[in-house]
């Protein structure tokens, strides 16, 4: 059977780091197993879902290279949900409830006050047809709940969490439809997973209790449940859940100069037993992906770790991977020269300005004669091989200087900087004419 995963965001906002990790894990498993990765827009909330947010989600996935094999929208599937809902209603799997939110809230408080779990007591099932007719005559419209089978144990072997067991008595019958007819998450999601042939539902551990109810929904729909994998949630660098994680998304990473592969390289290994490594493509991430490597402890996301990983990756990126983002005229030789000193690819522009100039530096008075000699020697040395070592070698013989006193005045005069790329690689890019101009007494 071909593996099918799905990423199912609601287009009510931008993706954040937790969403991105979920999408990535689904994509990695689909690619590892030779299966398909689907995008499903869970846009049943018509008041908050927008096409702008949907487009943003597509754009974020594209930037990350997580291209879905196909896409569906729940708002196009309401007829399907109506049909499945009617069948479940006729079979007694769903039932109408007439309590107001205020009544439900009061009942929950009473149960908690008695030290009891706040589980819905199925009051609506005790209503007669006449009771329901009276309530509807008063203007009340029902919301609908899925009726859990209390005689059927709920269990599954989670690919990350291991054997899972739930007592249906300890769960409230989940609300699946509001009084205004709009859908909540639970039932449409299960219907779609069946209709789309989803074989693996991969999501955060905050959905475990949803899965317990959905296992019975799949049975009521006449389908076998997919395999489930619930990953531990991300925590912040301070070791606890952080609101900031909800604000970190693709726009933030892009503006910070983070490479898509750095985001993937970190998130693919967070919460696993595998080390985070500075890979430059996804092949190693796909090859080593294994649900059994994930632990149950919260996965710690540290933005500074991402920045450091990104820098290590930038130092390995080939010219072809960055050529379209480099300043005009910057070639592979220049990229190789400056790459070891970059934090982000955008920083290459700083060093290209150093190469092209102009560079204005006022030398120390004690270095004027030294730089005048360097100016003369620049015009005499052989530039066809290694002009930097030819120049410094000649200066060392002529002046007896060595170490910092030999190299630093030259670097400052030629680049305007006290540090930077290897001058042996940078000087040929600067060239004889610009070097003469910068060393001019």
CATH number, domain with residue 136: 3.90.800.10
Task: Tell me 294's DSSP state.
Answer: B
Q: Residues 55, 108: one domain?
A: no
pLDDT of residue 21: 97
Which among 356, 380, 414 is the end of a domain?
Answer: 356
Domain that holds residue 296: 1-72+232-316
Residue 199 lies in a domain: no
The confidence score (pLDDT) of residue 240 equals 65
Domain annotation covers residue 183? no
One domain for residues 136 and 89: yes
Could you please report the per-residue DSSP string of 28-69? HHHHHTT-EEEEEE----TTT--HHHHHHHHHHHHHHT---S
Question: What does the pLDDT look like over 191-225, one tens digit per residue?
Answer: 999 999 999 999 999 999 999 999 999 999 999 99
pTM of the model: 0.92
Residues 9 and 93 in one domain: no
Which residue ranges of the chain lie beneath pLDDT 70?
239-243
> Do residues 344 and 289 both lie within one domain?
no
Q: Are residues 41 and 107 in the same domain?
A: no
- Which string of DSSP letters, residue by residue, matches 69-83? SEEEEGGG-HHHHHH
Look at residue 398 in the predicted model and tell me its pLDDT. 96
Domain endpoint, select from 330, 356, 382:
356
- 173 and 86 assigned to the same domain: yes
Residues 113 and 129 in one domain: yes
For 433, the token pair is: 């004419």
Query: Do the domain assignments include residue 211?
Result: no
Task: Assign residue 27 the CATH number of its domain.
Answer: 3.40.50.620
Q: Which two tokens stand for residue 45?
A: 């909330």
How many domains in the chain? 4
Whether residue 376 lies inside any domain: the answer is: yes
**Residue 238 domain-assigned?**
yes
**Smallest Cα–Cα separation from 251: which of 14, 7, 27?**
14
251 and 307 together in one domain: yes
Do 61 and 99 lie in a common domain? no
Residue 137 falls inside a structural domain = yes
Structure tokens at 54: 């949907």
Q: Is residue 261 part of a domain?
A: yes
- 419 domain-assigned: yes
pLDDT in tens, 252-307: 999 999 999 999 999 999 999 999 999 999 999 999 999 999 999 988 999 999 99
Residues 144 and 88 in one domain: yes
Domain boundary among 305, 333, 356: 356
Neighbours of 223 (CB within 10 A): 14
Helix (H, G, I), strand (E, B) or coil at 165: strand
Query: Which residues fall in the annotated binding site for ATP?
Result: 243
| DSSP code per residue over 244-268 | GGGG--HHHHHHTT--HHHHHHHHT
Quote the pLDDT of residue 78: 97
| 290 and 326 belong to one structural domain | no
Residues 158, 215 contacting (CB under 8 angstroms) = no
User: Where is 228: in which H helix or E strand?
Assistant: strand 227-231
Burial 338-365 (b: 16+ CB within 10 A, else e): bbebbeebebbeebbebbeeebeeeeee
CB 374 within 8 A of CB 439: yes
276 and 326 belong to one structural domain: no
């Amino acid at each position: 059977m071909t593996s099918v995963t799905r990423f199912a965001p609601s287009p009510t906002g931008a993706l954040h780091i937790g969403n991105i990790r979920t999408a990535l894990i689904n994509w990695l498993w689909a690619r590892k197993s030779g299966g398909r990765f689907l995008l499903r827009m869970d846009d049943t909330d018509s008041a908050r879902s927008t096409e702008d947010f949907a487009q943003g989600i597509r754009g974020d996935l594209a930037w990350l290279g997580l291209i879905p094999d196909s896409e569906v929208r729940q708002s196009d599937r309401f007829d399907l949900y109506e049909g499945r809902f009617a069948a479940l209603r006729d079979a007694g799997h769903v039932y109408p409830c007439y309590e107001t939110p205020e009544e439900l809230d009061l009942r929950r408080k009473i149960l908690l006050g008695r030290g009891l779990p706040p589980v819905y007591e199925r009051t609506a099932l005790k209503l007669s047809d006449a009771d329901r007719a009276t309530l509807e005559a008063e203007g009340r419209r029902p919301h609908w709940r899925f009726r859990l089978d209390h005689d059927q144990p709920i269990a599954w072997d989670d690919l990350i969490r291991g054997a899972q067991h739930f007592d249906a008595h300890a769960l409230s019958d989940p609300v699946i439809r509001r009084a205004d007819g709009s859908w909540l998450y639970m039932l449409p999601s299960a219907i779609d997973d069946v209709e789309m042939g989803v074989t693996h539902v991969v999501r955060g551990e905050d959905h475990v209790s949803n899965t317990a109810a959905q296992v019975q929904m799949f049975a009521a729909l006449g389908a076998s449940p997919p395999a489930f994998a619930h990953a531990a949630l991300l925590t912040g660098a301070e070791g606890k859940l952080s609101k900031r994680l909800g604000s970190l998304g693709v726009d933030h990473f892009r503006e910070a100069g983070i490479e898509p592969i750095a985001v993937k390289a970190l998130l693919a290994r967070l919460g696993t037993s595998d080390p985070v490594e500075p890979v430059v493509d996804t092949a190693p991430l796909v090859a080593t992906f294994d649900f059994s490597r994930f632990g149950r402890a919260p996965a710690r996301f540290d933005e500074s770790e991402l920045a450091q990983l990104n820098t290590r990756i930038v130092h390995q990126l080939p010219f072809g991977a960055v050529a379209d983002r480099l300043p005009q005229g910057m070639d592979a030789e220049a990229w190789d020269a400056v790459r070891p000193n970059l934090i982000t690819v955008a920083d290459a522009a700083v060093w290209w300005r150093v190469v092209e100039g102009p560079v204005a530096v006022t030398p120390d008075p004690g270095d004027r004669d030294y730089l005048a000699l360097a100016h003369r020697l620049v015009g005499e040395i052989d530039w066809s091989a290694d002009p930097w070592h030819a120049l410094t070698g000649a200066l060392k013989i002529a002046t007896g200087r060595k170490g910092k006193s030999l190299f630093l005045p030259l670097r400052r005069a030629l680049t305007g900087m006290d540090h930077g790329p290897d001058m042996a690689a940078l000087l040929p890019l600067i060239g004889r004419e610009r070097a003469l101009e910068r060393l001019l007494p």
